[in-house]
């Protein structure tokens, strides 16, 4: 799960009707400039830096997530819905035939001296131990992340 | 570049137990414990292809020169040069220091 690719560039060739959002964004706040972190307005002095960081992450996430079930239901006629579906599938069909086949990425050269690099001293055991310990800590931390499911994740659009 | 030029020097690497030279088309040369080991070649190719996609922030080049797959008794050292992947299996003489 997650975003594989995103772009802020506007493609001029796109029909504005194609890219019109189906759900109005409930929190129309602009992004902070230069990608800087969103600063939480008031951080109680009693909190540690970690708490403040966690709060800012939560706030940023809440502002960026669109809650489909909470948004005003889109009032669309049945024929409008069918038209939109047809428009999207036509566009997809056009795009899938015109997209170039993805070629496997060429391996970048790591060195011009392969023999020297391969003959060099092996990684010291202490380094390997340290990295293994760090990886174990990270694994332990990640395995403690849990999803607290409260509501349905998938909801229906309200189509009359 | 002929095969001899590619492999010359690989067999002189200290503690080496075998090597592979692999291109996009397949194994170009192999020796020692890695002789004809197409399976290992395939695995190493996939690993180094994945690893060479990593980037440290702000950099366009892969952040490493050599990939080491460290097992208990031996180490696979892998690098890429001129569209070819070099794999050398070496003895792992780095162990837990023994306190007497």
The 10s digit of each residue's pLDDT in B20-60 is: 999 988 999 999 999 999 999 999 999 999 999 888 888 88
Q: DSSP label at A152?
A: -
Asked whether residue B65 is domain-assigned, the answer is yes
8 A C-beta contact, residue B79 and residue A111: yes
A108/B66 Cβ within 8 A: no
Does residue B77 surpass a pLDDT of 90? yes
For residue B31, what is the domain's CATH number? Answer: 3.30.450.30
CA-wise closest residue to B39 among B66, B18, B20: B20
Asked whether residue B99 is domain-assigned, the answer is no
Asked whether residue B100 is domain-assigned, the answer is no
Asked whether residue B29 is domain-assigned, the answer is yes
Mean pLDDT of chain A: 77
Asked whether residue B42 is domain-assigned, the answer is yes
Asked whether residue B96 is domain-assigned, the answer is no
Q: What is residue B14's predicted lDDT score, i.e. its pLDDT? A: 84
Q: Does B66 touch chain A (CB under 8 A)?
A: yes
pTM as predicted: 0.59
Q: Does B75 touch chain A (CB under 8 A)?
A: yes
Asked whether residue B51 is domain-assigned, the answer is yes
Phi-psi region of B82 (alpha: psi -120 to 50; beta: other; left: phi over 0): left
Which of A114, A120, A125 has its CB closest to that of B86? A114
Asked whether residue B98 is domain-assigned, the answer is no
Q: Which domain holds residue B14?
A: 3-91
A122/B48 Cβ within 8 A: no
- Tens-digit pLDDT profile for residues A5-35: 556 665 555 677 777 777 666 555 444 444 4
A113/B13 Cβ within 8 A: no
Number of domains present in the structure of chain B: 1
């Amino acid at each position: 799960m997650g975003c594989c690719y995103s772009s802020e560039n506007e493609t001029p060739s796109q029909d504005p009707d194609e890219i019109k959002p189906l759900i109005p964004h409930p929190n129309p706040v602009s992004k902070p400039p230069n990608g800087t972190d969103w600063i939480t307005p008031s951080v109680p002095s009693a909190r540690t830096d970690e708490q403040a960081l966690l709060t800012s992450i939560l706030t940023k996430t809440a502002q960026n997530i669109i809650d489909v079930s909470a948004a005003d239901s889109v009032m669309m006629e049945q024929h409008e819905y069918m038209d939109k579906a047809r428009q999207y599938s036509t566009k997809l069909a056009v795009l899938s035939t015109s997209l170039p086949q993805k070629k496997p990425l060429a391996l970048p050269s790591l060195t011009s001296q392969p023999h020297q690099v391969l003959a060099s001293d092996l990684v010291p055991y202490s380094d390997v131990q340290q990295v293994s310990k760090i990886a174990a800590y990270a694994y332990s931390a990640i395995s403690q992340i849990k999803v607290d499911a409260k509501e349905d994740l998938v909801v229906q659009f309200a189509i009359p | 570049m002929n095969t001899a030029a590619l492999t010359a020097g690989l067999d002189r690497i200290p503690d080496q137990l075998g090597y592979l030279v692999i291109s996009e088309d397949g194994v170009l040369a192999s020796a020692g414990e890695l002789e004809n080991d197409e399976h290992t070649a395939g695995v190493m190719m996939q690993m180094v292809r994945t690893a060479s996609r990593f980037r440290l922030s702000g950099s366009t080049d892969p952040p490493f020169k050599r990939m080491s797959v460290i097992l208990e008794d031996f180490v696979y050292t892998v690098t890429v040069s001129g569209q070819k992947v070099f794999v050398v299996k070496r003895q792992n003489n780095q162990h837990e220091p023994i306190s007497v």
